[in-house]
Structure 1
Amino acid sequence: MIAELPEYYFRVRENGAAVFRVDTGNRQQRIELEPIATVNLRSGEVRPQGGRALTEADRAEIGRWMAERAALVAKRELDDILRTVDHLNLTAQWVQSRATDDQVDQVAEALLLAMHDLRSVLVRHKADRLLKQSNPR
């Protein structure tokens, strides 16, 4: 078994986590996970579980995890977008070099609509940013 277990375990959920205190100090020498809180990353809310009050150490560790998790999620999100750029380039190469007419017909409409939507959002975002820079309040 692992020599030194962490004091807390975070079971990642969509937009947060369930937080457990890791307990190995029982008579059966089994690992027990005691639920102590749920975390919502979007709202920053931390809800104690089972009517318990969180200690300062609990809150500090949960806060540290939330900061690390938010940074990781942001990094992954940007990486996903950069992968999308790669996929668009690979798709263009596929259409140009290997796709059959039937395959192009199957994907063309969906791709064109998605690219049109993305282009509209990007242009609007850049225009708004330029307007804010030229008219600071």
Structure 2
Amino acid sequence: MSSIPRPLALASVALLCACTHGARIAVRPPAAEPGEAAAAQRRAAEDAVRDVAAMGRLRCEAPKDGHELLACWPEDILARPMVSLHLTSADDGYFVSIGVSDAPSRVLCDLQDRLVERLALRFGADDGTVVLRDPSVSCGRNPR
């Protein structure tokens, strides 16, 4: 997969920052020893983000350094709304950051819903993984 040209990536960040809604989802899988179990957890997180990215026609790539595992941007860098997804590693799991610009907050809520659903599917309901929605994002959910 080819890399997004740096000037376009920087321009898209500037556009995204102009009028952005954001959310951060925490993924807390059970502690895993380094090795195959930890690699499987990472693949599950990456696959969930890629699933949602594909639905939104986003292209993902793995940065070469730091804690960021995946960065996803629109295939069409001038697309509106501008959406980005970022998967980062943390001491106790992963974070998925969502950025949306030039769109109603409903778009952010829908993305958050899809990510939570995909993360739950990829990790499995019985493995003890906890997926936490961003408490600062009000999506008007009514418990049923």
* TM beyond 0.5: no
- TM-score w.r.t. the length of structure 1 is 0.27
User: Normalising by the residue count of structure 2, what TM-score does the alignment of the two structures yield?
Assistant: 0.27
**Higher RCO (C-alpha 8 Å, min separation 6):** 2
Bigger Cα Rg:
1
Structure with the bigger percentage of helix: 1
**Relative to total residues, which structure has the larger strand share, 1 or 2?**
2
